[in-house]
Amino acid sequence: MKVVYHDRYREVYSSDPASAPSRIESILDQLKTHFDFVEPELASEQDVLLVHNQEHVDNVKAHRLVYEIALLAVGGAVKASELTMQGEPAFALIRPPGHHASRSSSWGFCYFNNVAIAVEKLRSKGEVNRVVIVDIDLHYGDGTANIFSSSPQVTYFHPEAGSREAFVNELSRFVSTLDKPFDVLAVSAGFDRHEQDWGGLLRTENYRTIGKTLKECAVDKCNGRRFAALEGGYSHAVLGRNVKALLDGFG
């Protein structure tokens, strides 16, 4: 399994929690000796325009540093999607996050919808048709849902259960309903539902179970093609361990 990462993701580009100093480092400390790292390239504006309109792109572009890092985050998700189409599951260790970015607006620390752009680029090249996106972040990815609301070939799922066991079970039930083969599984991997983070719910071992469930789904339904990209997660004390647990199950 590959981890897609660039040192510029460590740059503090704003004052929001996703850009906080040491956030990316807390994950790197847990992953650096366990996985092979691959460096992405900047996404192009044409890539971003696959899901966003020009006015939104121009609004982000007005903030030079944010724009540069946001393009690099998109590039990280795109690289992860390319790796999985080559037979290598991948995790994009990127920021800013993206699942609250819709076609013409964004909020919640997001600018461009990294996962949506990566999926749409694969679709635009004819490499995939039917896609499943699972979002395990605490917050519903309204941007992703909005972007693909008129695309029946793309299924977006966000578990909403209010207890630890119910959350894991809801995810298992969902993947069991995917009776038709699809082409790739994309995961918006947020970690703010942890018991020491904003959501106060999941334990670190639950992320390993979630990763394993998603891996088994991909192996069974889409020839193992799967990639994930970092969304939320703000407790630096546990974030790295949670990411590693997910990847241990997912890889």
Using one digit for the tens of pLDDT, what is the confidence trace for 210-230? 999 999 999 999 999 999 999
Those residues whose C-beta lies under 8 Å from the C-beta of residue 247, and which sit 6 or more positions away, are 1, 3, 31, 35, 91, 211
Residue by residue, DSSP assigns 52-77 as S-HHHHHHHHTSHHHHHHHHHHHHHH
Are 227 and 89 in contact by the 8 Å Cβ rule? The answer is yes
What is this structure's pTM? Answer: 0.98
Say how far apart CA 244 and CA 104 lie, in whole Å.
34
DSSP state of 196: T
Q: State the average pLDDT for the chain.
A: 98
Say how far apart CA 126 and CA 40 lie, in whole Å.
22
Say how far apart CA 96 and CA 48 lie, in whole Å.
14
Measured CA distances, 72 to 44, 52, 104, 145, 218 (Å)? 9, 16, 20, 23, 27
CATH topology classification for 2-250: Arginase; Chain A (3.40.800)
Instruction: Write the burial class of residue 172 (CB in 10 Å: 0-12 exposed, 13-18 middle, 19+ buried).
Output: middle
Q: Which residues are catalytic?
A: 100
Strands 184-189, 36-38: pairing is unpaired
| pLDDT on residue 84 | 98
CA-based torsion, 207, 192, 69, 143: positive or negative: positive
Q: How does pLDDT run across 159-176, given as a tens digit for each residue?
A: 999 999 999 999 999 999
| pLDDT on residue 133 | 99
| pLDDT on residue 141 | 98
Q: How does pLDDT run across 72-121, given as a tens digit for each residue?
A: 999 999 999 999 999 999 999 999 999 999 999 999 999 999 999 999 99
Q: What residue spans define the domains of the chain?
A: 2-250
Write down the residue that tokens 């699942």 correspond to: 99
pLDDT more than 90, % of the chain: 99
The two structure tokens encoding residue 11: 């740059």
Instruction: Report helix, strand or coil for 226.
Output: strand
| pLDDT on residue 180 | 80
**Edge-to-edge strands, sheet with 154-157:** 36-38, 2-4, 90-92, 226-230, 184-189, 131-135, 154-157
